Amino acid sequence: MKSFLDLLYPRRCMGCGVSSPETFRYVCWDCWSDAARVEPPFCALCGDPVAGAVDHDFICYSCSAETPAFDGARSAVRYDGVVGEALRQLKYEKALWLAPDMAKLLHNCVDAEYPGCTFDLLVPVPLHHVRRRTRGYNQSAILAHELGRRIGSPVASRLLKRIRPTATQTNLTAKQRLSNVVGAFQHGREKRLAGRRVLLVDDVMTTGATVNACAKTLKEGGAASVHVVTAARG
């Protein structure tokens, strides 16, 4: 079936159009190597990179000012270039065939940044049900399912709900983003959450306000730890 589909829809790199990409299915090696990885030095908690030669562990200013609810957050690449475009198409243009490539990014990031960690549950950042209905799918849930298959962890996509439709975070300041998500999430059955080590999955992380609100809700529900992984960092 797969090779039949390949005949019908020959795989071309979405960045440069070259056919038969190798490592990633829809992003060729050249385009992939152009993606800017999020590399150290970055904050030990939120994973936000800083410019400059810092050769010791450090916590950034905003994490020092207010400790985030998550135990760590890491992203594979910068929200830029071909990966930024792939994530945009996955989110807004129903380009679901890009999900395995993006999940591979997530998988590499989990292996590199959380070595030896076991996650009991993968939880995608939820969409409000109205937006989910309009879009037809939640791109973060699709990524979480692809990632879950790769790392062998179950996905719980109904354990966290967005109970308040929130304005899109895109054009908001950091402060507005924080208040935009206050009280926006609700956790489900505490029985499933109690004592669990959760990996929260999203496509893009910018200020971290959304994942922080999600992590706070999951911990209120009894989660033992909440780590965050996103494909890109805005």
* Residues found near Zn ion in the complex (CB under 5 A): 13, 15-16, 28, 31, 43, 45-46, 60, 63
> Which C-beta is closer to Zn ion: that of 43 or that of 181?
43
> Which C-beta is closer to Zn ion: that of 222 or that of 234?
234
- What the block records as the tokens of 142 is 């699709």
Per DSSP bridges, beta strands 121-124 and 197-205 are parallel
- What the block records as the tokens of 140 is 């973060």
Least distance (Å) from Zn ion to the CB of residue 136?
28
Contacts of 141 (CB under 8 A, 6+ apart): 124, 126, 155, 157
145: left (phi over 0), alpha (psi -120 to 50) or beta: alpha
Least distance (Å) from Zn ion to the CB of residue 24?
9
Q: Which amino acid is at 149?
A: R
Least distance (Å) from Zn ion to the CB of residue 59?
6
> Which C-beta is closer to Zn ion: that of 31 or that of 214?
31
Q: If we measure between CA atoms, which residue out of 35, 32, 114, 117 comes closest to residue 74?
A: 114
Least distance (Å) from Zn ion to the CB of residue 133?
34
> Which C-beta is closer to Zn ion: that of 63 or that of 106?
63
- What the block records as the tokens of 83 is 């990966």
> Which C-beta is closer to Zn ion: that of 138 or that of 210?
210
Least distance (Å) from Zn ion to the CB of residue 174?
13
